[in-house]
Amino acid sequence: MKITRNLIIWFIGILIVLALLCAWVFAHRVILISQEDIVVESYPLPDHTRFPNVGKIKSGEKIQVLSCDDLKHYTAVHVRLGNGQEGYVLEGKFRFEFYPFWSSINSPVSYSCPSA
């Protein structure tokens, strides 16, 4: 009985260590920094006639990144603007700043944005 309990404790401990290791490697907080004025779309498809724009990001502005969605031919960066609205950056010049998942930076944890 004691051996079974010890094995279960070891197994749970190993799972916790593996989960933390995966989070250490893959999870990070991401901030998008625009290098020009960027239009934020309301839907991840670039069709201005069906989906209106949510807003604009001014050059140099820092925005929270919620996720990066790979849509075959392009990547749609899901962002949250300063006013709380969410939208997608489909084109424009920008760069990412990455922070560790335990950072206190005001951005949700993301697993999907490419590092390079």
For 58, list phi and psi in degrees, rounded to 5.
-80, 155
Place of tokens 């960066």: 77
The DSSP call for residue 103 is -
The DSSP call for residue 17 is H
According to DSSP, the residues that pair with 86 across neighbouring strands are 80
- Domain residues of the chain, as ranges? 28-110
CA distance 42 to 2: 57
CB 30 within 8 A of CB 107: yes
pLDDT tens-digit series, residues 28-60: 888 999 999 998 988 877 676 677 788 899 999
- The 10 Å Cβ neighbour count of residue 96 is 17
**Architecture of the domain defined by 28-110:** Roll (2.30)
CA-based torsion, 99, 103, 105, 106: positive or negative: positive
Q: List, for the chain, all residue ranges whose pLDDT scores fall below the cut of 70.
A: 1, 23, 46, 48-49, 115-116
Q: Residue 68: its pLDDT value, please?
A: 87
